[in-house]
C-alpha cells in the first residue's frame, strides 16, 4: 500500500509541476500570437478533451507531466514556393498521400514529404493517423467542417501568409526567448508563491532547542519572498557545482533521481500537507533551473541556439540541432543512471554513504 501511495504522490506532484512549466510556454506563445495546437496533461499519446480556439486541451492516457505543442519551433526545410503549391493541393483535395503530391506537382517524393511535414509542423494540415493504411495528410477540422474535407483556397498567398505569421520561428528573437524562459519562470514563480503562502499566511512552528518551547510565527510577505529567492540562489550555487571539476562529483552525489523524489515526497506527505507543499516548491525550483542548463533539448539549450542564430544572423542547421539534442540527451541519461544507482543503493539497500 505504501508503494502505491508513493507512486500516486510522485505522479501527482510531477504532473502538476510539469503542467505549470508547460503552461508558461503555452501562455506566452498565445500572448505573442503563436499557434499552439495542443496543451495536454500527460505524456503524448491517445487523449480525451476538447478544442478551443484552435488548441486541443485534454488529458492523455499516461497522465504524467504535460506538454504544449507550439508550431514552427524548427525552420522549414523546403521552399515557400513548394509549400504554397502543396498547401493549395491539400486543401483542394482534402486528403493526399505523398506519392500523389509528388506526381501532381512533378517533384521528388522526398521533397513532397518534407513539404507535407513542414506544413504539418505549422498546424496547417493534419499528420497521418495510426488507422491509415497509407500516410494520409488531411485538412484540419475548422468551423464545423470535418477533418479531411476539400476546402479550395481562393487566395493561396494570403492564406499562406496568415499561416506563416502564427509560427514560432518568424517571431522576433526576444519573443522567442521569452517563450523559452517562461516555463522555468513559472516553476520559480510557483515556488515563490508557495513560500509566501506558507511563511506569511499559514505560518510555521519554531522549537527552541535549549528550552523546548515551540513558537508559531509568520513573516511579512517581502521577507517570505526574500526567503524564496535565497533558496533559489542556493540551488543555483549547487547546480553551478556541476561545472566545477572539483565539486561535480559531490554535487551529483548530493542530488537525487526520480526514486529519491518519490521516497522524499511520501515522507513529506506523512509529515503533513504543508510539508508536501514546501517539498513541491523545492522540486519546482530544481525543475525550473535544471531546464535552463545550456544543453539541448532543454529550454536553456534551445535559448543558446536562438542566441547563436541571433549573433550570426544564420539559422543553425537542423542536423546540427539534432546532433546537439542527441548529445544533450546522452549526458542527461548518464546523469540519470548515476543518480538512479545511488538512490537505489541509498533507499533500497541502505548501503550508500
Residue 186 CA from chain centroid, whole number:
12
CB 168 within 8 A of CB 76: no
- HSE at residue 152, side-chain half, CA atoms within 13 A, is 1
Per-residue pLDDT, 345: 73
* Cell numbers representing residue 45 in the block: 499519446
Per-residue pLDDT, 217: 78
Per-residue pLDDT, 350: 61
Measured CA to CA, the distance from residue 302 to residue 166 in angstroms comes to 19
Per-residue pLDDT, 114: 95
Per-residue pLDDT, 107: 94
The per-residue pLDDT for range 3-30, each reduced to its tens digit, is 788 888 888 888 899 999 999 999 999 9
Residues with Cβ within 8 Å of residue 341, at least 6 apart in sequence: none
C-alpha to C-alpha distances, 132 to 12, 90, 93, 95, nearest whole angstrom: 35, 17, 17, 12
Per-residue pLDDT, 187: 96
Per-residue pLDDT, 231: 92
Listed as own residue / partner, the contacts of 47-50 with beta carbons closer than 8 Å and 24 or more positions apart are none
Per-residue pLDDT, 202: 85
Length of the chain as a residue count: 353
Per-residue pLDDT, 232: 94
Per-residue pLDDT, 348: 63
Per-residue pLDDT, 1: 58
Alpha helices (H) along the chain: 2-31, 80-93, 98-105, 109-122, 156-165, 173-196, 221-240, 248-254, 258-270, 273-290, 299-312, 318-343
Which residue stretches of the chain have pLDDT < 50?
352-353
Per-residue pLDDT, 90: 95
The per-residue pLDDT for range 226-241, each reduced to its tens digit, is 999 999 999 998 888 8
Per-residue pLDDT, 185: 96
Amino acid at each position: 500500500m505504501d508503494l502505491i501511495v508513493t507512486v500516486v504522490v510522485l505522479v501527482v506532484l510531477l504532473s502538476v509541476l510539469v503542467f505549470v512549466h508547460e503552461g508558461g510556454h503555452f501562455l506566452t506563445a498565445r500572448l505573442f500570437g503563436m499557434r499552439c495546437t495542443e496543451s495536454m496533461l500527460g505524456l503524448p499519446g491517445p487523449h480525451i478533451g476538447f478544442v478551443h480556439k484552435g488548441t486541443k486541451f485534454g488529458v492523455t492516457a499516461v497522465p504524467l507531466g504535460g506538454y504544449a505543442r507550439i508550431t514552427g519551433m524548427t525552420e522549414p526545410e523546403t521552399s515557400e514556393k513548394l509549400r504554397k503549391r502543396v498547401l493549395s493541393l491539400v486543401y483542394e483535395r482534402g486528403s493526399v498521400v505523398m506519392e500523389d503530391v509528388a506526381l501532381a506537382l512533378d517533384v521528388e517524393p522526398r521533397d513532397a514529404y518534407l513539404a507535407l511535414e513542414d506544413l504539418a509542423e505549422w498546424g496547417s494540415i493534419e499528420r497521418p493517423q495510426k488507422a491509415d493504411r497509407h500516410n494520409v495528410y488531411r485538412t484540419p477540422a475548422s468551423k464545423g467542417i470535418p477533418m479531411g474535407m476539400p476546402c479550395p483556397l481562393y487566395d493561396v498567398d494570403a492564406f499562406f501568409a496568415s499561416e506563416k505569421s502564427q509560427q514560432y520561428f518568424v517571431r522576433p528573437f526576444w519573443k522567442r526567448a521569452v517563450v523559452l524562459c517562461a516555463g522555468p519562470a513559472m516553476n520559480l514563480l510557483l515556488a515563490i508563491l508557495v513560500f509566501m503562502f506558507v511563511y506569511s499566511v499559514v505560518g510555521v512552528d519554531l522549537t527552541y532547542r535549549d528550552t523546548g518551547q515551540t513558537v508559531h510565527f509568520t513573516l511579512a510577505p517581502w521577507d517570505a519572498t526574500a526567503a524564496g529567492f535565497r533558496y533559489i540562489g542556493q540551488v543555483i550555487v549547487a547546480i553551478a557545482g556541476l561545472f566545477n571539476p572539483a565539486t561535480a562529483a559531490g554535487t551529483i552525489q548530493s542530488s537525487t533521481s526520480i526514486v529519491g523524489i518519490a521516497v522524499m515526497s511520501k515522507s513529506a506527505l506523512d509529515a503533513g500537507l504543508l510539508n508536501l507543499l514546501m517539498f513541491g516548491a523545492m522540486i519546482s525550483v530544481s525543475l525550473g533551473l535544471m531546464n535552463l542548463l545550456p544543453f539541448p533539448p532543454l529550454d536553456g539549450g534551445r535559448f543558446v541556439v536562438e542566441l547563436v542564430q541571433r549573433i550570426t544572423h544564420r539559422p543553425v542547421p537542423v542536423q546540427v540541432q539534432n546532433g546537439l539534442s542527441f548529445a544533450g540527451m546522452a549526458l542527461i541519461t548518464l546523469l540519470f543512471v548515476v543518480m538512479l544507482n545511488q538512490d537505489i543503493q541509498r533507499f533500497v539497500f541502505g548501503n550508500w554513504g
